[in-house]
Amino acid sequence: MRFKNSIELRLWGRYALFSEPITRVGGEKCSYPVPTYEAIKGVLESCYWKPTFIWYPDKLRVMHKIETESKGIRPIRYNDGTNDLSYYTYLVNVEYQIQAHFEWNERRPDLAFDRNENKHFFIAKRMLERGGRRDVYLGSRECQGYIEPCVFGEGKGYYDHTPGVPLGLMVHGFTYPDEGGDGMLKERLWRPVMKERGVIEFCRPEECPVVNPIKRSKIKTFTAGKNFSPVDELAEEVERDGLA
């Protein structure tokens, strides 16, 4: 299903590290074979984000062969500030196609005045054309990513003729207090399958089979003119700066 405010983008980079939590216990990190729902959501928020709406990744297409490379890293020990030696396993030469849309955050009635779908949608498209409003990272800060518009499904991919590949249990993402409505930060898990043409269809957060509460947290408040700019002001700023 394609929504009327859908955007389609190409995401690529030299390295990616969508770290699997179970491998981080000993200080080492190993990437999942594909991006998580939450990682894609973070890329979309780097492109354009407002608390008024929530980005929903719909589909991901894996374009390049899934390959890894291990590197010796010297992270800082938290207990004494000295360096340690760890091995991080990165994905290399990654490229994806993404289809996503946004929906209003119904848990934020205080921001209902900012719900102008047309302006939000076209600002998002303009920001995508310019590579996003903020830096894009592929799971980790040392993995720089890049985005640009594309047509989802176009072009040849490495897994175009590969049958369905189950990817096992993976982190789907986090439900934040202002999204769940109960003030709880929650972790979601699911079992994705990479189907023909390397396409992964994401389930919606409320459809995840495993949801674990993490902690209770406060909902951040936003005040126009203080820490929030309404979309009308932002649209004027974008036009004034020659970005529209």
- What domains are there in the chain, each with its CATH number? 7-168+194-204 (3.30.70.2660)
**pLDDT higher than threshold 60 for residue 243:** no
Q: Mean of the pLDDT values across residues 114-119? A: 93
**pLDDT category, 119, cuts 50, 70, 90?**
very high
**pLDDT category, 47, cuts 50, 70, 90?**
very high
CA distance 52 to 103: 9
User: Residue 1 has what pLDDT?
Assistant: 61
**pLDDT category, 222, cuts 50, 70, 90?**
confident
Instruction: Please indicate whether residue 58 or residue 164 has the higher confidence score (pLDDT).
Output: 58
**pLDDT higher than threshold 80 for residue 204:** yes
Q: For tokens 């848990």, what's the residue? A: 107
Ranges 38-42, 127-131, 184-188, 239-243: which has the least confidence? 239-243
The bridge status of strand 7-16 relative to strand 144-149 is antiparallel
The residue among 178, 172, 179, 187 whose CA lies nearest residue 219 is 178
CB 156 within 8 A of CB 147: no
**pLDDT higher than threshold 60 for residue 244:** no
Q: What percent of the chain has pLDDT over 70?
A: 93
Q: Mean of the pLDDT values across residues 131-140? A: 94
Instruction: Please indicate whether residue 205 or residue 242 has the higher confidence score (pLDDT).
Output: 205
CA distance 127 to 217: 31
**pLDDT higher than threshold 70 for residue 17:** yes
Q: Which long-range contacts (CB under 8 A, 24 or more apart) does 206-211 make?
A: 208/172, 211/175, 211/186, 211/187
**pLDDT higher than threshold 90 for residue 22:** no
pTM beyond cutoff 0.75: yes
Run of H or E residues at 42: helix 37-47
Average pLDDT of the chain, as a whole number = 89
